[in-house]
Structure 1
Amino acid sequence: MENRKRSGLGRSSEGGFRKPEGGSQGGAKKRYFAKPTPPGFEKASKPDIVFGVQSVLETLKGTKEIEKILLQRDFGHNEVEKLAFERGIPVQRVPLEKLNRVTMKVHQGVIAFVSAVNYAKISNVVADVFEKGEVPLLLVLDRITDVRNFGAIARTAECAGVNAIVVAARGAAQINADAMKTSSGALNHLPVCRENSLWQVISELQQSGIQIVACTEKATEELYNIDFSIPTAILMGSEEDGISENLLEQADYSTKIPMVGKIGSLNVSVATGVILYEAVRQRNK
């Protein structure tokens, strides 16, 4: 009798033995369910990547925009590096472990991150805006690296009628599926210009008669005292340390958003919205 109890078998009303309810011998089977995603949290989208030497080479020879290329640190491929240099695509040398974290498939020491948008040239955008008889309103982003911040900025910029966003080829947020989603599709309509030198871009914009207005906590002038009705490029910096010093010195004006609360700064996407809509207010008078 002890053996029967130990095995989980009991006597049925028909005189035989029956298994315990709800499972097989040894007890009921456990069922495992995925935990629900907590509210406010979303899984990040997988980046659009191309891997393997031949695949990356063909992508470099094509028309797709590439954000950056990761090369295994102790692996060199002259043709990949040459084509990337010619197209102004950043190449980062990284350990094998980092490549394996991106994909465990056979990457052969090279991975390319494909952009979700096609980039425009800022010179072409400016020429087109002037030809249409419009007053340019541009946004220059210095080292905005958070993808969701970038997406939120793009959404506001498109709604505010910004003609283009300018970012640096290096040190800027990757424009991937997350950026597209956060922008609510704005990046499908708003030109993004990826340039090698923001300093050079600012200089060229100034030569075209476009004023550069830097938004920084270091400024003494409040944004309501700036004339945004004329051709303007608004310069925003990273949340960590703001606008680079050389770009700040290059700007025509520096301005700040007045703060009356105890917290002395705004999120960069919120700050961008505030200054853009002051420009909209002035232009719609």
Structure 2
Amino acid sequence: MKNETTIFGLRAIIEAVNSGEQIDKVFLQKGLRGELFNELEQVLRQAKINSSYVPVEKLNRLSKGNHQGAVAQISPVAFHDIEDLVMSVIESGKTPLFLLLDQLSDVRNFGAIVRTAECTGVSGIIIQKKGGAPINGDAIKTSAGAVFKIPICKVDHIKDAVFHMQASGIKVIAATEKAKSLIYDVDLKTPCAIIMGSEGRGINPSVLKAVDEHAKLPILGEIESLNVSVACGAFLYEAVRQRV
């Protein structure tokens, strides 16, 4: 079965995946077994769709019908292919400015960042297929609808996006408080991509090793870090300041 935001039922979800439905995440009932359930798990793995195992009570809250142990959340946006997007931006003649989000988990932070990205002319946002905030109603509301106005790509790992940017002549800059350079000392007028990390962990250490530059914002108070959406806004508007 299907409503505007979810699909529920084992066979219904399998058919939705096989037909190319834009599914953001699937919740599976803990401890459930069976031939059809195993088939769904295999289909999700092959399609590389994010899934998690949850208590049946959560599934009951997500679905008004007989969910059979599985509920899928439909993405309200169509995701872009990163190779096609990067190529189209380069061919447009505009100086690329991409934003990479390394497993940002808070939906409202994500929505706020998308809104700022749209306002600052970001070429596209790249997120990871697993571990990030879902693009749901809260994200749409917080972004003021910006999720429909800016291209969003999903990749298996953020490092995949880093390497693709670098291969395309786009400099990758990590926003981290451990950096020695301030963002104001980094050249943002050239083609570049900025990476923001998750709320608790920051940017994955393996990603930090792969980027071209590290940069930070000056912190003059006693609290050591900013909210990620606020920090992202400061980074993006520094890029705007340099480019305008």
Q: Normalised by the size of structure 1, how large is the TM-score?
A: 0.80
Q: Distance in 2 between matches of 1:133 and 1:85?
A: 38
Which of 20, 25, 33 lines up with 1:75 in the alignment?
A: 33
Q: Distance in 1 between matches of 2:60 and 2:71?
A: 10
| Deviation digits for residues 159-185 of structure 1 (CA, Å, limit 9, x no counterpart) | 100011111100000000110111001
Which of 62, 67, 92 lines up with 2:19 in the alignment?
A: 62
Question: Aligned residue pairs: how many?
Answer: 239
Q: Which has the higher helix share?
A: 2
Q: Distance in 2 between matches of 1:92 and 1:143?
A: 15
Q: Which runs of 5+ in 2 are unaligned?
A: none
Q: How does 1:1-285 map to 2 (within 5 A)?
A: 48-73=5-30, 74-76=32-34, 77-103=37-63, 105-284=65-244
Q: CA deviation at 1:282?
A: 0.8
| Deviation digits for residues 220-265 of structure 1 (CA, Å, limit 9, x no counterpart) | 1000100001110100001212111001111111000012223222
Q: CA deviation at 1:53?
A: 1.9
Q: Distance in 1 between matches of 2:228 and 2:152?
A: 18
Q: Distance in 2 between matches of 1:97 and 1:155?
A: 33
The structure showing larger relative contact order (alpha-carbon pairs under 8 Å, at least 6 residues apart) is 2
Please name the residue that 1:12 is paired with.
Answer: none
Q: Say whether the 8 Å CA contact 2:111–2:143 is kept in structure 1.
A: yes
Q: Distance in 2 between matches of 1:123 and 1:229?
A: 22
Q: Distance in 2 between matches of 1:196 and 1:254?
A: 23
Please name the residue that 1:39 is paired with.
Answer: none
Q: Distance in 1 between matches of 2:136 and 2:57?
A: 22
Q: CA deviation at 1:83?
A: 2.9
Q: CA deviation at 1:116?
A: 1.3
3-state SS of 1:50 partner: strand
Q: Say whether the 8 Å CA contact 2:124–2:153 is kept in structure 1.
A: yes
Q: CA deviation at 1:47?
A: 8.8
Q: Distance in 1 between matches of 2:148 and 2:20?
A: 17
Q: Distance in 1 between matches of 2:157 and 2:4?
A: 25
Q: Distance in 1 between matches of 2:78 and 2:232?
A: 23
3-state SS of 1:229 partner: coil
3-state SS of 1:230 partner: coil
Q: Say whether the 8 Å CA contact 2:105–2:199 is kept in structure 1.
A: no
Q: CA deviation at 1:104?
A: 5.2
3-state SS of 1:92 partner: strand
Higher Rg: 1
Q: Say whether the 8 Å CA contact 1:135–1:231 is kept in structure 2.
A: yes
Q: Distance in 2 between matches of 1:252 and 1:155?
A: 26
Q: Once the two structures are aligned, what percentage of the paired residues are identical?
A: 44
Flag the 1:175–1:47 CA change in 2: closer, same or farther, 3 A: farther
Q: Normalised by the size of structure 2, how large is the TM-score?
A: 0.92
Q: CA deviation at 1:146?
A: 0.4
| Deviation digits for residues 19-57 of structure 1 (CA, Å, limit 9, x no counterpart) | xxxxxxxxxxxxxxxxxxxxxxxxxxx992110123212
Flag the 1:282–1:249 CA change in 2: closer, same or farther, 3 A: same
Flag the 1:262–1:93 CA change in 2: closer, same or farther, 3 A: closer
